[in-house]
Amino acid sequence: MVSAQQDTSFVSQAKPDAYTTPGQREQRAEQARYDADMELLIADVSRWREKAVSTWLELQAARDDLDALRARLDAAEADFERSRLSLRESSVAELGRLEYELSDLRSSTSWRVTLPLRKVGSLLKRRQ
């Protein structure tokens, strides 16, 4: 005995002949159009799926690159901060050394002895 599905597939593959009605031929033609449309839609879905996967992989790669750049930026910022603090410490030390030298110079005997000469010199400069 032949099942209904086998019978339907046989009928859909049969060529129009004297035993099929115009309505049956129209149904077969419509079914063929639907089948062709379905194949096109499946192909479209497959292409879109491939494009989505490809785009997702590109996005993941871009995120990985971004994470690497952020790590490099964090390292550079930390290095900059260490350099800035080191420079500040050395500048403070240099400023302290220079202030000490200036204080030492001003408290020296030669500075005190030459004070009248420096005052006369500055008065002469103002008059010119």
pLDDT digits (tens, 9 = 90+) for 86-117: 999 999 999 999 999 999 999 999 989 999 99
Residue 49 pLDDT > 60: yes
Inter-residue contact 28 to 12 (CB < 8 Å): yes
In this prediction, residue 15 carries a pLDDT of: 60
φ and ψ at residue 3, rounded to 5 degrees: -75, 165
Inter-residue contact 20 to 14 (CB < 8 Å): yes
pLDDT digits (tens, 9 = 90+) for 29-42: 999 999 999 999 99
6-20, 42-56, 74-88: range with lowest mean pLDDT: 6-20
Model-level pTM greater than 0.75? Answer: no
Integer Cα distance of 91 and 14 in angstroms: 97
